[in-house]
Structure 1
Amino acid sequence: MSKLLSFISLFILILSYAQDDLLKEIDTVKAEEPYSPSFKALQVVTAQSTKLPSKKEFYLDISHRFGDVSDGFKNFFGLDNATTKLGVVYGLTDWMSLNFARHTYQKTYEFGAKYRLFKQEKESPFDIVGYNVLDINSELKKDDFPKLEFADRFAYLSQLLISRRFTENLTLQLTPSYIHRNLIEPTIDSKDLFSTGLGGRYKISKRVSINAEYFYNFENKNFYKNPLSVGMDIDTGGHVFQLVFSNSQANTETGYISNATGDWAKGHFFFGFNLYRVF
């Protein structure tokens, strides 16, 4: 835990230094200007961004992660082995949203809450948002786990999303994360996983940006692979379409950090997309 806190402190110091340096060389977002979200989409790539829906906004979320691209024509470059997410997000207030989703990955039901703590304005140099999730794995069977109880299906995620919009084009985000599972693999020492994500967005045109994110797992390093994802945001006006390339096929909130199975160096990665439609 001390390593995680040290990493967070170091990142914030770097952001503060970069802010002073960038102010001298490029146009930045002025504090007196109206608040503008750091991200266009609700996700950086797979991880959540600091953007929230406005009050009473309703989002339909459809996401796909196809299989391993390196399978080639055998599985049609992964398209035969897709996982799907169908979800909704509702802006309860301007500072809090609720979400629900169903994933084909482990037949997971997901409940989440996202809430803004600080805006990047004159009083704060950062957007800071909290995010909490309960995942319920309905795929577990009593035939495999005779002593299985309903609570064993639960997994929890808590994140602090800290972003800084340096310029009109560049945003960075730090995402310290904590995952707890009530049921884990016997080879793992702890039910808890601490990790930290670093991601960002660079706008290359009025409606297109390049995004990337990387999560470093502090626990059980021989078991967990670190997920690395890159993507592209395409804003069509009525919705935001995100192309995704990642070494983690899971798109559940507790899954993509702890279930990366691909290896970029060997060409093992997964293609997919996120589609948000606003109502």
Structure 2
Amino acid sequence: MVAFCTSHTAAAQEDLLKLAEAQDSTREGPMQATFKGTRLVNGHTVETNGAGALLFLISHRFGALNSGAYTFWGLDQATIRLGLEYGLNDRLTLGMGRSSLEKTYDGFLKYRVAYQKPAGLPVSVTAFASTALKSQNWLNAENNYDFAHRLTYTYQVLIARKFSDRLSLQVSPSMVHRNLVETPTGETNVLAVGAGGRFKVTKRTSFNAEYFYLLPGETADAFRNTLSLGVDIETGGHVFQLMATNAQGMIEKFFIPQNGGTWSNGDIYFGFNISRVFGVKEQKKW
């Protein structure tokens, strides 16, 4: 009798497990954690903060590797950005930051337009818009510049797909509008396409790559495309990102339209991002 009850209970549990697996395999909820953080390397990912989540981000880039032994191959030099990002809701994130490069302040909005779903849309889509303000004094004080000349605007559509637990890819059509250009014939609107991905190596580490291609024009002739390689390490509530890149700037204003560094010449900047999330209010669970 006991044996019969035991076998019957085991069979029932097995049937319930199979039913749960079947329900999970047909679940139509949104795909979660396409990327580990809100940054791939330099550029933004499709990820937004959850409602009430406050993210504090420290971004740091050393000097160029080819600067030589006198600067300890760039380690004596530093460029830093401090940023805050807050999830107004599960789709909309507001962010702001300040970079030491050109003493630049920036603010941005990210809106999650659509989520990838197993039985629905095959990609996630996020709209991104930012404004950057250069507060550094003009080199030539006699130049009759207006306040508007300090502003640069960036617009992006971030499109990503999580192909498996290990692999996620993203493409980022971008436009940077500059109110002040380097030359009289310089392009006010610079078009570029970013592409990148993440490959999960272990449960807490991944390898990331990112490339921004400038569409043909004067800017593409005068400046260089940005290539960045990085490693993500998750440690509890922190995400620690190590990277090497040929761009010293950490916002779109710098690494898309005005990057002069090349990997072949040793213009390689080692750096890191450290992010920490604080729960201001309870987040919604899917």
Query: TM-score surpassing 0.5?
Result: yes
Q: Which amino acid aligns with 1:246?
A: T
Distance 1:141 1:164 in 2: 43
Distance 2:259 2:27 in 1: 42
> Structure 1, residues 194-234: CA drift from partner, whole Å, max 9, x if none?
00011000000000000001111013221120000000100
Distance apart, 1:129 and its partner CA: 0.2
Pairing 1:165–2:145 present: no
Which structure 2 residue ranges, 5 or more long, are not aligned?
1-23, 279-286
Which structure 1 residue ranges, 5 or more long, are not aligned?
1-28
Q: Is the 8 A contact 2:28 2:120 kept in 1?
A: no
Distance apart, 1:187 and its partner CA: 5.3
The residue correspondences of 1:70-219 to structure 2 (distance < 5 A) are 70-121=66-117, 122-141=119-138, 143-144=140-141, 146-186=143-183, 188-218=185-215, 219=217
Q: Which amino acid aligns with 2:251?
A: T
Change (3 A) 1:31 1:62: farther
Change (3 A) 1:31 1:259: farther
Distance 1:257 1:66 in 2: 19
RMSD: 1.6
Distance apart, 1:188 and its partner CA: 4.3
Instruction: Give TM-score, length-normalised by structure 2.
Output: 0.84
Change (3 A) 1:111 1:37: same
- 1:32 corresponds to: 27
Distance 2:185 2:276 in 1: 39
Q: Is the 8 A contact 2:35 2:198 kept in 1?
A: yes
Structure 2 residue matching 1:74: 3-state secondary structure: helix
Q: Which amino acid aligns with 2:186?
A: D
Instruction: Give TM-score, length-normalised by structure 1.
Output: 0.86
Q: Which amino acid aligns with 1:59?
A: L
> Structure 1, residues 86-111: CA drift from partner, whole Å, max 9, x if none?
11000000000000100001100001
> Structure 1, residues 222-256: CA drift from partner, whole Å, max 9, x if none?
11200000001000011101001001111122111
> Structure 1, residues 12-58: CA drift from partner, whole Å, max 9, x if none?
xxxxxxxxxxxxxxxxx967264312101111110000111100000
CA radius of gyration, larger in: 2
Q: Is the 8 A contact 1:249 1:261 kept in 2?
A: no
- 2:277 corresponds to: 278
Number of paired residues?
251
Distance apart, 1:139 and its partner CA: 1.0
Structure 1 residue matching 2:68: 3-state secondary structure: helix
> Structure 1, residues 34-83: CA drift from partner, whole Å, max 9, x if none?
43121011111100001111000001110001110122321112122211
